A = this chain, B = another copy of it.
Amino acid sequence: MEYTRENISTKLRNHGINPTHQRIEIAHALFSRHEHLSADQVMAIVNTRHAETSKATVYNTLRLFLEKGMIRELVVDPTKIFFDPNTTPHHHMYEVDTGRLSDIHGDIQITGLPPLPPGLVTEGVDLIVRVRHAS
């Protein structure tokens, strides 16, 4: 699938989001790349050439996308949150010395998880393999 502005508008509408200029640009930044971006990276991408989108809008929009289930939040780096346009179940590798974050592909199985206490519902299961470069 190609991420034209048109397609992105449709995608936004499908998620119940009003497609505005800024939202389209932010979604485009996330979906046209296949990377995990932090809020300030999104901000930088969207505002190359002319400043177009404010910090507040970037943060608001990312949280909106999150709530609507269009993207996923990754709490991995101690200093900032990354956003992942891929919402299908998959896991991550984090290079602690460089801050690089990448997907782990493959058929990963997790067994032996005890049942949840009553009243709790699973939101997601995050598996992060922390690695570093050999010295």
Contact = CB atoms under 8 A, between A and B. Distances in A.
Contact of A124 (B109, B122, B130, B134): B130
Interface stretch (A7-15, A18-26, A44-52, A110-118): A110-118
A133 B120 contact: yes
Interface residues of A, number: 36
A106 to B, nearest CB: 5
A127 B110 contact: yes
A16 interface: no
A119 interface: yes
A107 interface: yes
Nearest to A108: B112
Interface stretch (A28-36, A53-61, A73-81): A73-81
A126 interface: yes
Interface in A50-103: 73, 75-78, 81, 95-96
Contact of A119 (B107, B113, B126, B133): B133
Interface of A: 73, 75-78, 81, 95-96, 104-114, 116, 119-134
